Each structure stands twice: as structure tokens, then as C-alpha cells.
Amino acid sequence: MSSFHFLLHFTIFLLLFHQNSSFPSKQQLFLPLKTTLGHHHLHAFPRNSKLSSSAVATATTNKLAFHHNVTLTVSLSVGSPPQNVTMVLDTGSELSWLHCKKTPNLNSIFIPQISKSYKAIPCASPVCNTRTRDLPVPALCDPNSKLCHVAVSYADASSIEGNLAYENFVIGSLTRPGLLFGCMDSGYSSNSEEDSKTTGLMGMNRGSLSFVSQMGFPKFSYCISGFDSSGVLLLGDARFSWLKELNYTPLIQISDPLPYFDRVAYTIQPEGIKVGNKLLGLPRSAFLPDHTGAGQTMVDSGTQFTFLLGPVYTALRNEFLQQTRGVLRVYEDPNFVFQGAMDLCYRVGVSSQASFSNLPRVSLIFQGAEMIVSGERLLYRVPGMNKGSDSVYCFTFGNSDLLGIEAFVIGHHHQQNVWMEFDLVKSRVGFAEVRCDLAGQRLGMGL
């Protein structure tokens, strides 16, 4: 979707996972990941969503490769006979969907009419009716087709809608029959040129409708290269001799529904932030959700950068500014805010770029784990923007308050060269630093 889509992600349907996974145990599935230039989402997350207790049945490991830059995309096949599709990998979303209607700007669509395994869900189906009663936005019945209607809305007025359906998803040599997804045929996008580059979206959060839950995998991992636009997505367990021991932080779960807390997001708890060796003087309460659920910290592969609530962002910004005085030259334009939330930018000459490795690293400290952002990952070159012979680079942490979102969001830019494991059974996220381009090679992805 378009830049800074604050996804109000109204997931319309709830389906209990079918236990009869088609994947044999002990098998791994890898997929190549790809990064596409363009835009990214920033989601505000669904309310009152529930994770089915059967959504994390023991399953297998499988692999895909990906490419990344702004959105992480995965290529796979859907339908019978298989049609090739490209989907955005999004840990901040639940419902997976595909474009199913040809429009002038779409380069890739799924055509349900030519698939023998496609099965639209009628309004009368229990999936459309009784299983949506706890969701904030119920499923609708399309009066013309009598099919179950699904819609996803965005705060920038973008939206997409269509019908709920079952279809076969082909991952490598394996087929998952009857996966529930949205077959979308209409909508409005504020950046249709960029949205046209993919066929759809692969929802990977903890909700029962997400791709990983329906597939029945107990965990999944991905690794995003910081050296090229490649990566790997692994569905299932990852145990490799060359992979460092992961440091885990528990997922935060709140059973009571709160208006601003997404219960199926990958929510972790920060305990502090360091710049260089200096711990920011912030109270622990600055990182805790309040009584409404506002202020949770989500790991989101569908967002590019990392966004912090105002007081935390300001403390980090000021300390980074202080420690880089005389090293970086601030871009003095009070009217320039990159992507609406990043107001600390610098003028960088060609000779200065080599000194990025000497910048003070930023450490995000969590319970039991730490994510270190250093070197080139601290700054991002603003495309096409130069001041004389200098390029403009911006600090890769932004201010959530400027975006109007009540959350901390850790985007995929800061997940580069980190093995990211999402363990649905043990409710935890694991980190380990690794060269992701080499990891892809070791896994035989040919990246």
C-alpha cells in the first residue's frame, strides 16, 4: 500500500485453523525474499482480535527467498493450475489478500476464474457469519453476488475490498489447500503506481487468519541482507550450526480488550535505549502501554523505519545530535521532515559517508535481548535530494507523534543483518546478528 498507510486493518473474518496441515513434520520451507523500491505501510493495528488456540499446531519448516528495500516481497504460486504471485511480507497484518481484478495500473493479478481450486465463501457460510461476531467490523454480504465481503481500510482514505475465498497456496513443491484469503476487486490507493508492483499482501501476525497461523507453523524466521536487496524467509524451525544462539524477548500479551492495543501483533517490551555507552535517562514507564493500550511496541516487517513516541524520540534525537556534533553537519531546514516523521537530517559529502562506521550505535534494550543499530543503518539517503555536492541523509528513527500513531514500531530497516525468529508456540521473538547475504548462500538460495 502507499507510503505511511496507517492500516486500521479491519480484519473481517475469523477462521479456526484446520489441524490437518499438508506439510510433513521435520520439513523446512525456505522462500527467497526481495526488497522492492517504493513505499511502505505503517499500520495502526486491529482491535479485539483473537489468536485461536489451535492456530499454532506443530508443523514443519519451509523456505522462501525475498528482496527488500522498502517492502519485503515473496514470490509463490496460487491456484490450480498455479499462477505466480508476489506478496508483501507483513508481520503487522493478519488477512492475506490478492488483487483479483485487472486495472490499467496493475502489473500482476490473480485470476480466480481460471483456477479449479478457487472457492468463494457465500454469505450463509458460518465462516462469514458466526465467526466474525467478536471482530470490530463484521463481515458484510455482497447483495449482488451473495458472497462474503471483506474490506481493509486505511487512515489516509485508501482502502481495498473484495470477497473472502479459499484457494490452494503452493510453497515450493508443497501445496496448502483451502487457505482463506481476500480476493480483492476494488479499492482506492493514494500511491497506485507503487501498489501496482505486487499482487497482494501476506499477513503474518498472530491472528488466526494470518498466513503463518493457517499454515500451522509453530514459528517462522527471516533474515534481511544489508548488502543487497535479498533475504530469506523460513517457515518452521531454524537450527543451523552457523547461526549464533538467539537472544529471546517475550511477547507481551494482554487478555482484556483495550481500545489501542493490538492483541495479535508481535508486541515486545523495551527497557531502555543507549546511544554509544550512554543510557537515556528515561523512566521505564515511558516504554509501557498505558491503561488504554496506547504505547505498545510492535515488530513490523511492513514498516520500513522505526518510530518512537514523542518523549522517547526527543530524548534519543537530542543525545544522538549531541554525540555527532562536529562529525555530521545538520541539514538546517525547519520545514523539511522526511516522510512526515523524521526531522533530524544531515548534509553528507562523498568523503563523509565512509565515516558512518564511527557513528555512535543505538541499542534498543529489551527484556532478555538487544537490537543494535549502527553504521549505515543509522542514516538513510533521501532519494533524489542534494544540496550542492552534498546528499541529504536522515536519522532512521522517526517520531510517532508526528504521524498520529499511539505506538512504538520497529521497522525492517533496523532488522537488516539480524536473524529474526517469531515463535508462536513459546510467545517470543529471537534476535541474532548475522550476515544475511551469507545466510542465504548457506541455505542454498543462490542469493
Residues 273-332 pLDDT 10s: 999 999 999 999 999 999 999 999 999 988 889 999 999 999 999 999 999 998 899 999
Give percent above pLDDT 70 in the chain. 77
Name beta bridge partners: 419: 223, 432
Q: How far is CA 91 from CA 42, 170, 199, 231, 267, in A?
A: 11, 20, 17, 15, 11
Question: What's the CATH class of domain 247-415?
Answer: mainly beta
pLDDT of residue 294: 93
* Length, in residues, of the chain: 447
Q: What are the pLDDT digits (tens) for 162-178? A: 899 999 998 876 788 99
Superfamily of domain 5-235: Acid Proteases (2.40.70.10)
Residue 169: predicted pLDDT? 95
What local confidence, expressed as pLDDT, does residue 172 receive?
A: 73
Rounded to an integer, the average pLDDT of 333-346 is 91
pLDDT tens profile 21-57:
333 334 566 666 665 544 444 443 333 322 222 222 3
Q: What is the mean pLDDT of the chain?
A: 80
What is the pLDDT at residue 57?
31
Q: Average pLDDT of 246-256?
A: 92
pLDDT, position 194 = 60
- Sorting pLDDT into bands at 50, 70 and 90, what band is 134? very low
pTM score: 0.84
State the pLDDT at residue 244: 87
pLDDT over 60 (residue 65): no
Is residue 81 reached through a cis peptide bond, with omega within 30 degrees of 0 on the bond before it? yes
269-283 pLDDT per residue, tens: 999 999 999 999 999
Q: Which residues are known to be catalytic?
A: 90, 300
Pairwise CA distance, residues 66 & 150, whole Å: 28
- Report how far residue 172's alpha carbon sits from residue 180's, in angstroms, rounded to the nearest whole number: 19
Under the banding of pLDDT at 50, 70 and 90, the label for residue 349 is confident
Query: If DSSP states are collapsed to H, E and C, what string results for the chain?
Result: CCCCEEECCCCCCCCCCCCCCCCCCCCCEEEEEEEECCCCEEECCCCCCCCCCCCCCCCCCEEEEEECCCEEEEEEEECCCCEEEEEEEECCCCCCEEECCCCCCCCCCCCHHHCCCCEECECCCCCCCHHHCCCCCCCEECCCCCEEEEEEEECCCCEEEEEEEEEEEEECCEEEEEEEEEEEEEEECCCHHHHCCCCEEEECCCCCCCHHHHHCCCEEEEEECCCCCEEEEEECCCCCCCCCCCEEEECCCCCCCCCCCCCCCCEECEEEEEECCEECCCCHHHHCCCCCCCCEEEECCCCCCEEECHHHHHHHHHHHHHHCECCEEECCCCCCCECCCECCEEEECHHHHHHHHHCCCEEEEECCEEEEECHHHHEEEEEEEEECCEEEEEECEEEHHHHCCCEEEECHHHHECEEEEEECCCCEEEEEECCHHHHHHHCCCCC
- Could you tell me what percent of the chain has a pLDDT over 90? 45
Distance CA 412, CA 397 (A): 12
pLDDT band for position 86 (cuts 50, 70, 90): very high
Domain limits, the chain: 5-235, 247-415
Predicted confidence band of residue 15 (pLDDT cuts 50, 70, 90): very low
Cβ atoms of residues 443 and 238 within 8 Å: no
pLDDT for the residue 50: 24
Between these two residues, 35 and 361, which has the higher pLDDT value? 361
Local confidence band at 16 (pLDDT 50, 70, 90 cut-offs): very low
